[in-house]
Structure 1
């Protein structure tokens, strides 16, 4: 999800935090304890973004799990060297570098290598704390399930969204759906008349704080240490957004989609290959840096496993944001391995300098990652779906899955 959604994958440089040369572990070295760890990330203006995690030790290995609502993101890439802990996130090119301070405290920085080499977020891990936000009061009201929302209202950067919430006591889960996707799994609390929601997934570091009064919410959205914007909303159960199938289209003068890009083995792949002839093809425009693309990939993996034997092919066109092709290839290989994607992933944009519209000139624009293009057996475009409403949006996600399944099954039945 990009452009007006205003999320930026945070990029971080590689710094030496805790000494230049690692030493062999000694009996006096501190140990990393298993348990629940509450994490605080210090964002713009000192605002704190919290999220929940667990660390579990099995033998000499560790499992680190990030928790956001119904989502759990696991990684076993955890290394302990003397009093230092290094945790690489599962899918995205980011990493925690931490120092052990007793049994219940880790402190350090989070690095994300997509954007720059000198961008960091200070973090603190506290063991034994299971709450997310500091709950000092009960909820003073019940949130409505649906709000019509504007981000950066009254400016040239204004964009529309729908706030989707589920509340139980003072616990709140939900998301914001926009015309280019959603803010994924948000979790937090309604404390008195103030709403707090956060998410961290290895790429996104999002925090929402809003005052709630009667039918109105007014607040601020924070993204990392560098960006914030206001938002406001009003209860509206009939709120709608533009149809995602109407935002991207084939330009006049072009008949269909065509491309030729390398897969991760270096083989050139195009839609004219025998593999795709007389097949229904789902083309995914995505990137390894994009959490919404991760959500869509898991759904397309499900579709592939269910319908491939009947004639469905899925192919991903990745536009990467690393500085070098080698780094982009490594990021994509890690993503494909971790998600166990059974379909081809092609590197369409090798580095952050490649423009997706230049590589796919038949499209009027690429306004969102991901974008999905569905082709019939003749290679004709049936639909182009901009963005992706993930599982965090509830019914929006379920409706998209249902509609896409119907389209695929209908196209498979055609001669």
Structure 2
């Protein structure tokens, strides 16, 4: 399958129909639920662009509900009625139709028709890569060959097509939340400078949403803590009222791997044997390892430390302070600091982590 075919396949999903009707000044949401299990329950609209701020509420009657109100600026929102019934949509003035059994299929208003197309395009791209994975499994039983086929397809065909799809939605929706959503999905595929350049194209109301401002703050943090920069210190108060700082461990004359992790994070736990191997191999050659437990409770962290048989020191209950300072939006995130505290490498994992530590320790 060639890349240009992927572009052709997506064309139908990228069509946009302009609306020439007079803009509505209020919104009406007509919602349905497949059964009456939520009859009499209060449900809420949460603004996903503004820290899930509660915007509006109503009571379910039987299998239906209605919201009415006014929005000065369209917002990306969500209704969580129950674990089974929820929906993502754009709250804008006009008539909006929601079915809580179809989380990504809002309709009625122009932006909700557009976001439904966006969700459909996402699903199509996800289905495509899944189908190719199945195809490669049938094509060869050799794991290395299969992984190479998957990697080549991802890099040469799927990724360019996916970014082209996102660019289409981004370019058409610079003045509304869908443009911001498209940019969010690009974040894992483009450099920080590329994302910042695109972010500047968004309209001021979209750029000024709390979610976008948090993104800008993360970019600033990433620049301040990039490879080659000195470490940024932070201090955490311990359960017994004492204080512990990153500088208690980093910049003390040894190379230091700092693992930002949490007990509930499967990939974090999977990196523990890697860290243990490296630590045991190089702890007598100038390497230290430090764990920083973020987004976790001390009780759960302590339990995980025992389960995983972790022997290196830990800073517990760090919350989100370290991740904000270092622009970390996913864990595990392992950083290698030099003897003087200079950041040598970020986001190390697996074999890459082993290779980097070997490089700096054995060639120093």
Calculate the TM-score normalised by the size of structure 2. 0.40
Between structures 1 and 2, the one with greater helix share:
2
* Max Rg structure: 2
Larger RCO (alpha carbons 8 Å, 6+ apart): 1
